[in-house]
């Protein structure tokens, strides 16, 4: 098992879904994980999960979970989060930018002009929020001359998926991670984006039951658990030669095969490069 004891991570949007899975995978390696999200009261959101519940599970998995209620639309809350990390830990080794606003119209059929302009919220929390969190993280990582910033993305970065804004958000997240890498390189801080592919989150499972056509479009053999991307990130966080990947966009399934990683049920998750597209950006 990879050892991340003594390492400090921030995982945004970790009340549930992929963020929660990442936090739990890091916990199994002994990391201290700051779990951010808006949900603190069970039952207050249509889907299950709170930051406190995730943090408690991080503890049970062998790490140290610290729950912090953060609305990543509010810059002052994000600033307070990273100041707390600096004050309590004195370092930051990993930031995973996972938080994204998901409007209910995302999986509904229809062109962009028939959906509300407010769907732009995916850019506010999903792209701008990545920048703000990375801005604060970099100011902690640069003096220590180490660190890794991961932007969660997907094949949607090059292949139309759901709607215009979603694709714009993810393709821009890939580019942002790449350009950050250029400016961070001299300071030995890495930045990259990771395509996780279809993941069986709580929301995805609900969509499979309720959104017309989704069940027939998705092959269960290619979908992963929420912890699979976290297992890949865990390996990246422990890689002593991580700078050779900085600036690149990577498919989680391909990195998993390189690292010898399987999903929680032992399955090898396949790459969908041939079916859905290849990353644009390589390491800098």
Q: Domain boundaries in the chain?
A: 8-276
Nearest residue to 22 (alpha-carbon basis) of 221, 178, 237: 237
Mean pLDDT of 16-30: 97
Mean pLDDT of 262-268: 96
With cut-offs at 50, 70 and 90, classify the pLDDT of residue 272: very high
CATH superfamily placement of domain 8-276 = NAD(P)-binding Rossmann-like Domain (3.40.50.720)
For the ranges 174-188, 195-209, 245-259, the lowest mean pLDDT is seen at: 195-209
Whether the pLDDT of residue 73 is over 70: the answer is yes
With cut-offs at 50, 70 and 90, classify the pLDDT of residue 206: low
Q: What pLDDT is recorded for position 200?
A: 84
Angle between helices 129-144 and 75-89 (to 10 degrees): 20
Q: What pLDDT is recorded for position 47?
A: 85
Mean pLDDT of 88-103: 97
Mean predicted lDDT score pLDDT of the chain: 94
User: Euclidean distance between the first and final Cα of the chain, in Å?
Assistant: 29
Mean pLDDT of 53-81: 98
Percent of residues, the chain, with pLDDT higher than 90: 85
Q: What pLDDT is recorded for position 211?
A: 57
């Amino acid at each position: 098992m990879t050892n991340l004891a003594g390492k400090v991570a921030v995982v945004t949007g970790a009340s549930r879904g992929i963020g929660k899975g990442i936090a739990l995978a890091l916990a199994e390696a002994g990391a201290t994980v700051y779990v951010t999200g808006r949900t603190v009261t069970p039952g207050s959101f249509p889907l299950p999960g709170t930051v406190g519940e995730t943090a408690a599970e991080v503890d049970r998995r062998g790490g140290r979970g610290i729950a912090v209620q953060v609305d990543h639309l509010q810059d002052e809350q994000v600033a307070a989060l990273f100041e707390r990390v600096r004050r309590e830990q004195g370092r930051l080794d990993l930031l995973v930018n996972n938080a994204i606003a998901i409007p209910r119209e995302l999986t509904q059929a229809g062109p962009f002009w028939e959906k509300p302009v407010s769907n732009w919220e995916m850019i506010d929390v999903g792209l701008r929020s990545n920048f703000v969190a990375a801005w604060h993280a970099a100011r902690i990582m640069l003096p220590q001359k180490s660190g890794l910033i991961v932007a969660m993305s997907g094949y949607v970065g090059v292949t139309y998926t759901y709607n215009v804004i979603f694709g714009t958000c993810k393709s821009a997240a890939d580019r942002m991670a790449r350009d950050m890498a250029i400016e961070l390189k001299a300071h030995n801080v890495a930045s990259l984006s990771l395509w996780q592919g279809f993941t069986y989150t709580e929301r995805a499972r609900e969509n499979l039951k309720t959104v017309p056509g989704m069940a027939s479009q998705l092959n269960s053999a290619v979908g992963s658990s929420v912890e699979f991307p976290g297992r890949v990130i865990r390996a990246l966080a422990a890689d002593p030669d991580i700078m050779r990947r900085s600036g690149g966009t990577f498919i989680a399934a391909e990195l998993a095969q390189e690292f010898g990683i399987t999903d929680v049920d032992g399955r090898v998750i396949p790459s969908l490069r041939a079916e859905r597209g290849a990353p644009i950006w390589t390491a800098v």
